[in-house]
Amino acid sequence: MGLIMDSKEIEHLLGLIEKSSLKKFKMQDGDFKLSVQKQDQKSGSGIEQPTSIPENTNIDVVESENLVEIKAPFVGVSYLAPSEDQPAYKKVGDSVKEGEIVCLIEAMKMFNEVKSPISGFVEEVLVESGQLVEFDQPIMKVRLSK
């Protein structure tokens, strides 16, 4: 007997594929075939403009330590600086204001800004530039300002 997927499972799978860095996905089980290919979304100038992530997404407050974990809103490649020859948006010890960019995550050839949901000081950077990050993976810890 082959794989049986209902429409909700297929929609869920398509959502996961969309959030991933995969460009093509194919699966076959018996008579069931699924093939997905993402289209490049290039802007007219050939340069992708960063997209802003909602500021209050994917954070955890560790009450006992007054720390906030900023988490990756989706799967992609993290970039801690606007380009290789520029300094990092934020490094350990830097102050950060609510709404300030702390890193970029590239997904589907789009650069997405990740902004701090709070004001404070960068306590720890948990990823490296160019590192693949998973959905909901902690990328930075910020100590709340008093």
Domains of the chain listed by start with CATH number: 7-37 (no CATH), 51-144 (2.40.50.100)
User: What is the pLDDT averaged over residues 86-99?
Assistant: 95
Q: What is the pTM of this model?
A: 0.57
Mean pLDDT confidence for 104-118: 90
Is residue 13 very low, low, confident or very high in pLDDT (cuts 50, 70, 90)? confident
> Over 80: is that where the pLDDT of 8 sits?
no
Per-residue pLDDT tens for 39-76?
665 444 444 555 544 444 444 545 446 888 999 988 99
Computed over every residue of the chain, the mean pLDDT equals: 79
pLDDT of residue 36: 76
- pLDDT at res. 79: 95
Query: Can you give the pLDDT at residue 55?
Result: 46
CA dihedral over 73, 139, 113, 102, signed as positive or negative: positive
134 pLDDT above the threshold of 80: yes
Bridge partners of 33, per DSSP, are 28
- Res 136 pLDDT > 70: yes
CA 59 vs. chain centroid, Å, equals 12
pLDDT band at 4, cuts 50/70/90? low
Q: Taking the C-alpha atoms of 41, 44, 50 and 55 in order, what is their torsion angle to the nearest 10 degrees?
A: -80
pLDDT, position 98: 92
